[in-house]
Amino acid sequence: QVQLQESGPGLVKPSQTLSLTCTVSGGSISSGGYYWSWIRQHPGKGLEWIGYIYYSGSTYYNPSLKSRVTISVDTSKNQFSLKLSSVTAADTAVYYCARDWCSSTSCYSDYWGQGTLVTVSS
């Protein structure tokens, strides 16, 4: 059973960089076949896809966040990470990591982490 677990600071100051790590167990990122996503949910709101990474390091970001987002992968630790720079209160949200099954015409998240609340405040 694949499990994902987010970790990182729950409080970030405005203008600083939000950094989160997702640790994957029960499966290897480097085995390929899956993409690894970050998704967030503002309080009381819907889901927003941030971007994903393949084990090779190939990435795709939501254009609304692209200028501030970096997703990276560390296959030796079976982890992938999110960095979001220049954060404001509007980045306060629950951040989820997820495993994506993707084909040429379809992509969905079949396993999710429990989510971690990140609050941006001074």
Binding positions for another protein, rule: CB under 8 A: 37, 46-49, 52, 60, 62-64, 96, 101-102, 104-110, 112-115
* CB 51 to another protein: min, Å: 8
Record the tokens describing residue 46, joined without a space.
């819907």
* CB 99 to another protein: min, Å: 10
* CB 1 to another protein: min, Å: 11
Q: Which amino acid is at 1?
A: Q
Q: Which is nearer to another protein, 14 or 108 (CB)?
A: 108
* Residue 38: partners with Cβ closer than 8 Å, 6 or more residues away: 20, 22, 49, 50, 51, 52, 71, 82, 95, 96, 97, 98
Instruction: Return the half-sphere exposure (C-beta side, CA atoms, 13 A cut-off) of residue 94.
Output: 14
* CB 8 to another protein: min, Å: 16
Q: Which is nearer to another protein, 17 or 64 (CB)?
A: 64
User: How many helical (H) and strand (E) elements, i.e. helices and strands, does the chain have?
Assistant: 0, 11
Q: Which is nearer to another protein, 3 or 75 (CB)?
A: 3
